[in-house]
Structure 1
Amino acid sequence: MLEYIISQQDTINLAKTNFKDNTNLKNSIELIINTGFMKRYIIQPIELAMLHPGFGYRNAVFEYESKRLVPGVVEQALNNAAVSASQIAAIIYVSCSGFLMPSLTAWFINHMGLPGNTMQLPIAQLDCAAGSAAIDRAYDYVLAHPGSNVLIISCEFCSLSYQPTDGDVGSLLSDGLFSDAISAAIVTAELGEGLSLERNASYLIPETDK
């Protein structure tokens, strides 16, 4: 569980304080209210999240919090699927809010009991589409490897992307929309409880590359 909560009103108050002379402020606040999100969870107190001590520091926070919080979420996913860590054949890790080389997939294999020959697929730079892309790749894997289990992990700490001086509408809306969260799921070709994926495809809407 993430320890820190910021309410919608907290977000609006911060926007009014930090961007009080910004011409985008009124429209941004209306958009934030219309999101319907009354509270969000973050990994640090808001006072720390609002600072920008540099990418290196933020990336170190990402690594520390990922290693601290992800294992518990993965254990819950394994228990829900009645699958042990030793039965995982591939791990797909989705994140665009922190970058490490080697990927954290290697750390998970070494510290969570996954087989040493587990296939690793880190996915970055797909933003909101990354989760569906991870499911698609897991689907492809289990079709190609019958009887296998794929572990998907999504770890996004969006508060680490906060830019104190960025006052455009998109950034101000993001400040009131995105939170920090971790999720994990097991994908298998075996029939059982849970969601069933019948087919997959990918399509990019023209002129939406920016």
Structure 2
Amino acid sequence: MSRNNLIVETLVVGQMAANCYIVRDGSVAVVIDPGDDGQYIIDTLQKYSLTLKAIVATHGHFDHIMAAYELQISLGLPFLMGKGDEFLLKNMRASANHYLHITTDPPPTVTKTLADGDIITVGAQKLSVIAVPGHTPGSIALVSNEWIIVGDVLFSGGAVGRTDFSYSDKEQLMISIQKIRSYPEDYILYPGHGEKTTIGDISQLFV
């Protein structure tokens, strides 16, 4: 496949320092995992004169979606997430209050659920959706020709997503990690928290 021109802007948002990604082709963009600080995200879009087309969540945990409602209402945008994680939206406000002792906006309204093999168009470029369940049932990753946004599946240094939730599945998570590792070693991995890494670096830790 040919290389593409998608640019990834990383914004670290919220008390849990989640990575929010603005992926753009020219002046057209999608925002991925708007975990908090909605105005900061909007200001960044305006800074680059970007037209936002959609909001996408890699999974339904509150620290990745708390600003989605603000963006959806302010900008009139569709909200997309993996099929199987919709139930987590109902718990978003309670979870944020439990872990961070804050009151949040309501959860966003799901416009479309995404499944393995779906395509998200960003300008003239495309992102492929792959299902990567385990951390949550509906976790997804977004694949370009150079990189993958992996959410909380795995992180720089070899840490992996939590599987101690009642709905998590450690075996599925390991299968999802192997799916990600099947891509070329020079692919950059953009995780839900922390620094980016590469498949080559991660693969050395899962021998």
TM range (shorter): under 0.3
Query: As a proportion of its length, which structure holds more strand?
Result: 2
Q: Which has the higher contact order (CA 8 A, sep 6+)?
A: 1
Relative to the length of structure 1, the TM-score reads 0.24
Relative to the length of structure 2, the TM-score reads 0.24
Query: As a proportion of its length, which structure holds more helix?
Result: 1
